Amino acid sequence: MSEPLAIAGVVPRTVLTPPDTDALASAIRELAAAHKTFALVGGATQLELGNPPAPIDTAIRTTACARVLDYAPEDQTITVEAGMTIAAIQRALDPHRQVLALDVADPEAATVGGAIATNAFGRRRARYGAIKDNIVGIGVVRPDGTLARGGGKVVKNVAGFDLPKIMVGALGTLGAITSATFRVHPADECSAAVCVRASAADAYALAQATVDASLVPDSLVAYADDGSYDLVVRFGGFARGVEEQVAALHALAREHGLASESLDGDTVQAYDERERAVRRMPVTMRLGAPPVRLAGVLAGATEFSGRPRVWYPLIGAALAGAEHIDPPFIAALRETLSTVVLERVPLAARAGLDAWGTPPPSFAIMERLKDRFDPERLCNPGRFVGGL
């Protein structure tokens, strides 16, 4: 018998899986009319993120709403329902040699709605940007059951961009995402990867040197290893361009007194698994700060010794994992960094912990948005920043 679905430890009274968007909107209208709380669930890969919500009457799963609604390869856009998985979207794009540059830990389970709601990111963000940079339009059901849409279907259409942007990272507290339109990109003709062993300070310096040298890596990720880092830099594109950039990176590494080596495909996949392993640890933290400040913290904090971590030097973000919760360490990080979000925390260790930390300066705006969209606080109440 499978375990009951739990949202940050809270088990809803009932679970619904509407077969289509109209049924989803109808379910939300009925719940709103009865003043009952509800939460939205996609592939259930990020249900530990956030604080325990208030008691939830109904969890609404979007997984049955999983169709491609529109795909225009020539315009490089695709519109899909929110319950479609990231892997299924990529399979739809493969015949046209295009990619959706959206990284999640489990693409076969993670849905596009969940990725938007949690502001998922990964190694390719340095080249392609965050979700906000790739989403063109969005369909939602407001917490009162009203269907709404913002944005457009083509990349050049900038009207109504605000709705797509405010739904990104809102953790389902402003309504149900029903569909999304994304820009997609041409698939690379070939790819290659280089690994450089370096300290945190040297890894950051080399990362900046790649930018100064006008290199354009697909990703640049540092994996912790015994106090130092394996800085893995990947390039993609046309064969000649990739070859030139790989040679240029080896030369940069030599200039910085660092050893570098080209990686084969199996080794590259092993690094991907190391990142997934950090995300699966009992305690996972998402760290954020200006890139130079985060580099300094990682270089100077001996408390990180032995903690598995993955660091994205160009975007000022990192993931750190642990077997057990360490409140003093988390408190110290929050004094230094811009954000320390607890992505995964064992239920028994949640008491007295806030997954988000001190609300940001924009919190007053976030409160006003919540009041406009969900004045009765029915939609995923209490799970987000500051109890929203």
175 vs 25, 185, 263, CA distance in Å?
A: 10, 29, 44
Topology of domain 276-349, CATH:
Alpha-Beta Plaits (3.30.70)
pTM of the entire structure?
A: 0.92
Provide the pairing of β-strand 309-312 with 219-225.
antiparallel
> Do residues 34 and 13 make contact, with C-beta atoms less than 8 angstroms apart?
no
Beta bridge pairs of residue 262: 194
From-to residues of CATH 3.30.465.10 in the chain: 1-187+358-388
Topology of domain 190-270, CATH:
Alpha-Beta Plaits (3.30.70)
How does pLDDT run across 34-92, given as a tens digit for each residue? Answer: 999 999 999 999 999 999 999 999 999 999 999 999 999 999 999 999 999 999 999 99
Which residue stretches of the chain have pLDDT < 70? 1-2, 153-161, 302, 305-306
Residues 6+ apart with CB under 8 A from 121: 103, 130, 131, 315, 317
Q: What is the pLDDT of residue 325?
A: 87
Q: Is 7 left (phi over 0), alpha (psi -120 to 50) or beta?
A: beta
3-state SS record for 8-30? CCECCCEEECCCCHHHHHHHHHH
From-to residues of CATH 3.30.70.260 in the chain: 190-270
Side-chain-facing half-sphere of 137: CA atoms under 13 Å: 22
* CATH number of 1-187+358-388, picked from 3.30.465.10, 3.40.50.720, 2.40.128.20, 2.40.110.10: 3.30.465.10
Q: What DSSP assignment string belongs to 113-130?
A: HHHHHHT---TTHHHH--
